[in-house]
Structure 1
Amino acid sequence: MIFSMTGFAAVQRELAEGTLSLELRAVNHRYLDLTVRAPEELRSFEGVVRERIAAKMARGKIECRIGFNAQAAGAAALVLNRALLQQLVEVSREASALVPAGGELRLGELLRWPGVLTQATASSEALGEALQALLDEALAELAASRNREGEKLKAHLLERIAGMEAIVADVKPRVPQLVIEYEAKLKARFLEALGSGDDDRVRQEIVVFAQKIDVDEELSRLGAHFSEIRRILEKGGNVGKKLDFLMQELNREANTLGSKSVSVETSRASIELKVLIEQMREQIQNIE
């Protein structure tokens, strides 16, 4: 599969103690650039989050936002501090024995005592387990998003390759005749200038120049690059850097084709190829 470096995922999970949420945003970048933003109670898990994301992403600028909204006061389960309550009861009885007129503490007074009733809070371990499960879910959603975008990029690149193959297929059969026609024009100019058709030096110069303007080798290399790009796209994986290198090679051959051009046809072919190559290069910057 081909993965784009652009994607988004947002997931959340309702816990007994509150709502845990996680967002992943990814855009293209030359290397892996990861930012994690987490609340204080989850800051200790930042290292684990980074490791899990890095195991799934090779390149891209990725922002991970983690949120935790605890339940509102009164909504969370109450926890009775039995040890403190027992201690208060015993102290109340001792005090009542010393001052009988005062009476013992009533149940309502005991329950209102600071620390006797507390709201349940998520343990660090429970939050960590929930966070890792939520992160795995977000990474799967992000991968699906990046794959959908990657398949679109793949289709775009294959379309441009087909366009370039058509250009090469159109101009390649005509190259030998174009070279012959240009040789004839060149010979005619030499004859006009020198007044002799038997000069060995003239014939040698024409042969040498004809070799210099022959673009058959460049067209063959372009075809080989097209095949390699198709192979890479079908194989999939982390192919962005390989494709970027091949764009440089394609551009080099297209430039050489233009510099050797002796006809309108080859000059036009060179320009059209470079336009398509540039379109591909822009899209490849988004591929992992």
Structure 2
Amino acid sequence: MIQSMTGYGKAVLQLPTKKVTIEIKSLNSKNLDLNVRIPSYYKEKELPVRKKLAAALVRGKVDFSIFVEMTADETSTTVNHGVVKEYIQQLRNVVQTGSTDDVELLKMAVRMPDALKTEREELDENEWNLIDEHIDVAIKEIVQYRTDEAASLEIDFKQRIANIKMYLEEVKALDGDRIANVKARLKKAIDDLKVDTDENRFEQELIYYLEKLDINEEKVRLANHLDYFLETLATPDSNGKKLGFVIQEMGREINTTGSKANFAPMQKSVIQMKNELEQIKEQILNVL
């Protein structure tokens, strides 16, 4: 069962004082490109999170985020009263007028250094255990998303492989006419020269020439590659890289067949095979 590398997963956890939102997004990439953004007080858990994501998602450009929204009345940031009062007094001394508006002084004072103090929140292991469980939920959701998206890709792959097989059968059916056509063209070229020829020598040279145009090996190898592609597609694991290698081999056989065809009707079938293969190549880049 193949998986797409494109996916999205989300989980929301409501705690007594905060709302925690976990998001995972992924796009296609040759390797695992993991970007993790979490609040500073969860930083010590970043490495286990990375390992968990790498094991579950394997490959792709992955963005993982934990957003925290405080929902309680309490806040970790408070006004440093002593510092603000001292700033106001200093500002009043600078102005040295009795009509100074204290509200305006307060606005200036809270912008000064250390006017606000933030107490660092320590990691609560029980809280993190709940978050970790919801990370698993988000991972499960993105994996399901990838699987669902890949299902349509698999249908498309099978259809295009069936099309290539159909065009390959056309190539096989045209091979006899192709050889006859090549012989007739060569014979006509010799006759047009209006010279005496040794028939035995002509037959020997013709056999040598036709051996160079023989595509039996290409037909057999292409058929094997098509079957192997379907076998790999049916395995329990998603093997995007292996499928990519198989496609490369299929392309070589199709290109060689086209270069040896030397027969317009056969070349049309080869072009159709190339078109189907290009469509598979574009989509296989998104397979895990």
TM-score by length of 1: 0.80
1:234-253 pair list within 5 angstroms: 234-253=234-253
Note if contact 1:257-1:266 (Cα within 8 Å) is conserved in structure 2: no
Offset of 1:188 from its aligned partner? Answer: 2.8
Note if contact 1:17-1:122 (Cα within 8 Å) is conserved in structure 2: no
SS in 2 for 1:248: helix
Note if contact 1:175-1:214 (Cα within 8 Å) is conserved in structure 2: no
The letter of the residue matching 1:157 is F
SS in 1 for 2:234: helix
1:8-27 pair list within 5 angstroms: 8-27=8-27
- Of the two, which has the highest radius of gyration? 1
Partner Cα separation in structure 1 for residue 122 and residue 3 of structure 2:
37
| Residue of structure 1 equivalent to 2:208 | 208
| Residue of structure 2 equivalent to 1:287 | 287
Note if contact 2:218-2:257 (Cα within 8 Å) is conserved in structure 1: yes
1:106-117 pair list within 5 angstroms: none
Count of residue correspondences: 244
Offset of 1:199 from its aligned partner? Answer: 4.1
Unaligned runs of 5+ residues in structure 1 are: 76-120
Note if contact 2:2-2:147 (Cα within 8 Å) is conserved in structure 1: yes
Note if contact 1:26-1:62 (Cα within 8 Å) is conserved in structure 2: yes
SS in 1 for 2:262: coil
Partner Cα separation in structure 1 for residue 175 and residue 236 of structure 2:
35
- Pair 1:52 & 2:52 matched: yes
The letter of the residue matching 1:285 is L
Residues 5-14 or 182-191, more deviating: 182-191
Unaligned runs of 5+ residues in structure 2 are: 76-120
| Residue of structure 2 equivalent to 1:98 | none
Residues 228-237 or 199-208, more deviating: 199-208
| Residue of structure 2 equivalent to 1:229 | 229
Offset of 1:276 from its aligned partner? Answer: 0.9
SS in 2 for 1:260: helix
Partner Cα separation in structure 2 for residue 48 and residue 55 of structure 1:
11
The letter of the residue matching 2:193 is A
Note if contact 2:2-2:240 (Cα within 8 Å) is conserved in structure 1: no
Offset of 1:202 from its aligned partner? Answer: 2.2
* Cα deviations by residue, 1:16-35 (Å, 9 ceiling, x for unpaired): 23111100000000001101
Identical amino acids, percent of aligned pairs = 30
**RMSD of the alignment, in Å?**
1.9
- Pair 1:270 & 2:281 matched: no
| Residue of structure 2 equivalent to 1:165 | 165
| Residue of structure 2 equivalent to 1:190 | 190
Offset of 1:123 from its aligned partner? Answer: 5.1
Note if contact 2:41-2:122 (Cα within 8 Å) is conserved in structure 1: no
Note if contact 1:32-1:60 (Cα within 8 Å) is conserved in structure 2: yes
Residues 276-285 or 42-51, more deviating: 42-51
Partner Cα separation in structure 2 for residue 57 and residue 200 of structure 1:
66
